[in-house]
Chains A and B, each alone.
Chain A
């Protein structure tokens, strides 16, 4: 009975949707950036006249993708434009579930059409909207919210968090899996892996100081440190007290990777996942603090003078006190 109650509490106890709203906005922005960055090479990678004229065969049972079913350039342009529109809608929270589904199907179409141009980060970018299909991500801070409850726009209705939990568990699995795969290698055990990774000129973004790449001691510290941080992110992130510190070193690690190695959208997708671990009461407070700051900005005050009707409507939100009343999970 105790286990059943714990299961119910973990997956279904309603919590404020402020965290989910942040994850949705971040996911939408990452997907939009991903789509825009594809523009210069869209036809080179995915057209019948590109570097891979036909979709790869033998991708495994159950694999499907729109561009494999409809390999024409017209379909390619349609999927691409739909991805951009869907990403914008997801960011703004307009028909959020549908937008997440559309974005996911479009990303899957690209992933299945050319498997040789995408990395693990692209895989994570694809998974985020999939999880959001099952989440009430438009319940707060969205155009969906504005349409349904304009007067209560700044409230964060409580909903079952099971889809958000899936994102959290996915991040945990990602880190434990990557550590598991790394410790089976040679260079992650002899302390040279990070040195090799940072000296791959074809992958280099900005140069690292020689101290971090050439020095044996520094290479060992960075290699074992990376494993320690990744393992912590996989396990200790579930401890509420340690979470801020674990996420802090995770952010530092990924900023370092972002600086030195061409990994595309991997760090951005990881940061979107980190948002899923922000306690809802913290997310609510942060959002309302930003709202209050924006309201007190000179631009807003000037607008208030011109548009005295707009303010009372916005003031009907719950304010920070209401955020404090929300149940912590």
Chain B
């Protein structure tokens, strides 16, 4: 196959014009597709074995992927996250992940929703719960917070049918209660 070249052809286009170039591109394409297929295989001994070789390649070129959207099952629980802030003067305040408008704000809010899922998934004190509690305290540093508690709210969804439309009953449990020190409130940005 002969491919015509313009005078300003790129290196890649020059490679595409030669048999050797097309062979090299074909090999890269085959290796890449193999790695993509392997990472999308169902969890199995075969996948685990092949992934040891292919995953570092995908990670390095940024082609790692996971398309498990609502898979294997969507959650059956509505969740929420709430921080309670205790201030030095004895007053309290609350913080919840931002929910802006549904039309445009959604394109920012979905990240908070994803983050909330992961914070709640941590289940107790850990990197995300401590990070979030500290960040909330820093956001409210003007009021001199002394303690931040993170609580998860949850309500089980009934299956579709007559009970599906009934109001949900929420329960609440604590993920972390973090004493706030003056050092934690210090930051580089005002």
Contact = CB atoms under 8 A, between A and B. Distances in A.
A169 B78 CA distance: 35
B161 A214 contact: yes
A219 B66 CA distance: 26
A205 B107 CA distance: 11
A216 interface: yes
A296 interface: no
Contacts of A177: 40, 67-68
Interface string A13-51: 110000000000000000001000110110111011111
Interface in B32-68: 32-33, 36-37, 40, 42, 55-68
A64 interface: yes
A206 B102 contact: yes
Interface residues of B, number: 76
A146 interface: no
Contact of B13 (A44, A136, A186, A201): A136
Contacts of A192: 159-160
B107 A33 contact: yes
Contact of B59 (A43, A61, A159): A61
A219 B160 CA distance: 7
Contacts of B29: 11, 162, 166
B78 A195 contact: no
B66 A123 contact: yes
A134 interface: yes
Contacts of B109: 262
Contact of B76 (A51, A127, A181, A196): A196
A197 B70 contact: yes
B189 A117 contact: no
Interface string A121-160: 0010011001000101000000000001000000001011
A182 B72 CA distance: 4
A40 B74 contact: no
Which 7 pairs show the lowest CB-CB distances between chains A and B? A185-B72, A62-B59, A181-B71, A62-B60, A62-B56, A214-B164, A264-B110
